[in-house]
Structure formats: C-alpha cells, structure tokens
Amino acid sequence: MTEKLIAWVEKWAGHHHAMKALSLVAFVESSFFPIPPFVLMVAMLIHEKKPSWVKIAIVGMLSSVLGGIFGYFIGKFLYGYIGAPLIAWYGLTDQVASLGQIFKDHVFITIFLASISPLPYKVFTLSAGLFSVDIFSFILASLVGRSIRFFFVAYVTDRYGIRTKHFILEQKKYTTVVVTSAVILGITYFLLIKQGIL
C-alpha cells in the first residue's frame, strides 16, 4: 500500500499542477497522510523540467505549517476519532502519553525537534492539540523547524538528485528512536541551562 501511494504521489512531479500537488501533500501529511512531501519534492527536483528548489521549499514549508495548525485543531477537538488511531498506527502511544507534561512545559523545543527530524510531524501536531499547548509557540517552532527541514531537503536534492529519495525513505526505520532520543536530549539540555548547570 505504501509503495503504491509513493508511486502515485511521484506521478504528480511532471504534472503542470505539480506545485499545487506538493502544497496539498505537505498540508495533509502534517495531520494524517502517511507519505512525506519530500518524496514529491525529490521527484520534482529530478524531473527534466524542475522548478526552483527555493520555490519548492517555500511552498512545502508554508503548506506543512498550515497543515500542522490544522492537525493541532484535529488533536484538540477530534483526537479520539482521528489522532489516537494515527498515533497507535505509528506505535507511539506510550511515548506520547509519557511526554505529555514535558511537551506542555517545553512546547517550542519539542515541536522544533519534531519539525527538523525524520519523525512523523503529524504525531506532534495532533499531540499539541491534545495537550492544548500554547499555539503561538507551536506555530513559531513549526515555522523555524519546517523551514530548516524543507530547505535542507530541497537543496540536497537539487545538488545530489535521486540518492536523496533513498535516504528519506530509510529514515522511517529509525523514527521511534529519534522521537524518544531527540526530545529527551533536547529538553534535558534546556533544563540544564535553565538550572545553571551548563
């Protein structure tokens, strides 16, 4: 099923509405769609008539952030119907539950780390709504993190081509480890600074 979805998404790379397709994929991926927009970005940037990598990064980033805000409200009002099944599908139910309070106290760093790492961003947008975290911190962290992520992928793809696709898809194997490690390490670092230890 995943391979078919990836192939379907990639088919839009040469379409005259490819940029609109990227915007849609980036938007829905931030709340429920399983295929990352970077798959389409790579396909677009290795296409014969590739657009500017900067334009692709901007469109993807803005659409992803808007989708994240949409995911926030799904998590806030429809978590039991949509959010919980998605998080269970990724096998991250325990992690989300145990990080709830830390997430609320350290919104920016948690969302920032989620935004730049290969973990499923949607898990954190839905959780942000579930825990009713500060939405302004959520949006700011998403803007910063998603900008770094999208510009990095677009630039690397423009430079190295198809090899980037394999790297992106391989990252899925390490999602759970990255979720736990990145969030805990990042929060620990900031707590140590706050207490004057570092």
The tens-digit pLDDT sequence of the chain (198 residues) is 467 777 778 788 878 889 999 999 999 999 888 788 888 888 888 877 778 999 999 999 999 999 999 999 998 898 878 778 877 877 767 767 666 766 767 788 888 888 887 777 888 888 888 888 899 999 999 999 999 989 988 988 888 776 666 666 565 555 445 545 555 565 565 555 555 655
Closest CA to 153 of 37, 30, 51: 37
Tell me the residue length of the chain.
198
3-state secondary structure at position 36: coil
Q: What is the pTM of this model?
A: 0.79
Q: Judging by beta carbons within 10 Å of its beta carbon (0-12, 13-18, 19+), is residue 29 exposed, middle or buried? A: buried
What values do phi and psi take at 47, rounded to 5? -75, 155
Q: Which domain holds residue 171?
A: 2-194
Tell me, rounded to whole angstroms, the distance of Cα 41 from its chain centroid: 14
Q: Cα separation of 158 and 153, whole Å? A: 8
Q: Cα separation of 100 and 120, whole Å? A: 17
CB atoms within 10 A of CB 18: 20
At 72, the amino acid letter reads Y
Count the domains in the chain.
1
Q: Cα separation of 11 and 127, whole Å? A: 32
> How many Cα atoms are found within 13 Å in the side-chain-facing hemisphere of 1?
2
